[in-house]
């Protein structure tokens, strides 16, 4: 499954989001209390820009007059028609068994691990779309000390 680095953890503080383009898809990356989630930025209702919508929580009442606010920042409301989705699962609140938005796997990986992965490939291979030339540039060791948000996009079908 292809993985894409979409940013660093310090780019998206808790309660915030970042919308990115990945493999031809618009995806919203959300930080909910230090956990990261990725949803397709397209409402299944009429294709609205779902991930630009308002973040909220859930109001519960066990008995009349007693309310409890739960799941703060986990409910995403589409800006077009107000359809609500749970960021953690992609499920809708009105019909969770049948209506959902696409959710993508997200991981947080240290830059040093990502750098090791890149170094494991052929270090002499040219960049994609380029041919190896006759000249070699002097290179220097690089270290990466941040944590990066990585999204996995399954298959080629959209």
Q: For 17-47, how does the pLDDT look when each residue is reduced to its tens digit (9 = 90+)?
A: 999 999 899 999 999 999 999 999 999 999 9
CA angle 68/74/157 to nearest 5° reads: 150
Residue 10 in domain: yes
Given this model, what pLDDT does residue 95 score?
Answer: 85
- Number of domains the chain is built from: 1
**Prediction pTM value:** 0.77
In whole angstroms, how large is the CA radius of gyration of the chain?
20
In which domain, by residue range, is 74 found?
3-121+140-152
Residue 91 in domain: yes
Q: Is the pLDDT of residue 119 over 60?
A: no
Rounded mean pLDDT, 60-80: 93
Residue 51 in domain: yes
DSSP one-letter code for 10: G
- 90, 39 contact by CB (below 8 A): yes
- Dump strand ranges (E) for 15-146: 17-22, 25-32, 35-40, 54-63, 66-77, 84-86, 103-110
Residue 106 in domain: yes
Residue 132 in domain: no
Residue 36 in domain: yes
Residue 158 in domain: no
Q: Rounded CA gap, 78 and 49, in Å?
A: 7
DSSP one-letter code for 22: E
CATH code of the domain in which 14 resides? 2.102.10.10
Q: Is the pLDDT of residue 158 over 50?
A: no
Mean pLDDT of the residues in the chain: 85
DSSP one-letter code for 23: T
Q: Give the C-alpha distances (Å, rounded to integers) separating 39 from 19, 105, 110, 146, 153.
A: 10, 9, 22, 23, 11
CA 43 to chain centre: 16
Residue 71 in domain: yes
Identify any residues that bridge with 26 across adjacent strands, giving them in sequence order. Answer: 21
């Amino acid at each position: 499954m292809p993985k894409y680095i979409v940013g660093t953890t310090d780019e998206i503080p808790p309660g915030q989001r970042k919308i990115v383009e990945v493999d031809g898809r618009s995806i919203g990356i959300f930080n909910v209390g230090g956990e990261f989630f990725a949803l397709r930025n397209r409402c299944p209702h009429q294709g609205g820009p779902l991930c630009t919508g308002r973040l909220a929580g859930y109001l519960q009442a066990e008995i009349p007059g007693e309310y409890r606010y739960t799941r703060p920042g986990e409910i995403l409301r589409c800006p077009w028609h107000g359809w609500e989705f749970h960021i953690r699962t992609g499920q809708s609140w009105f019909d969770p068994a049948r209506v959902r938005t696409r959710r993508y796997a997200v991981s947080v990986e240290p830059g040093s691990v990502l750098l090791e992965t890149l170094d494991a490939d052929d270090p002499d291979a040219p960049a994609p779309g380029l041919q190896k030339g006759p000249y070699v540039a002097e290179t220097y060791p690089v270290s990466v000390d941040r944590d990066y948000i990585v999204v996995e996009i399954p298959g080629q079908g959209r």
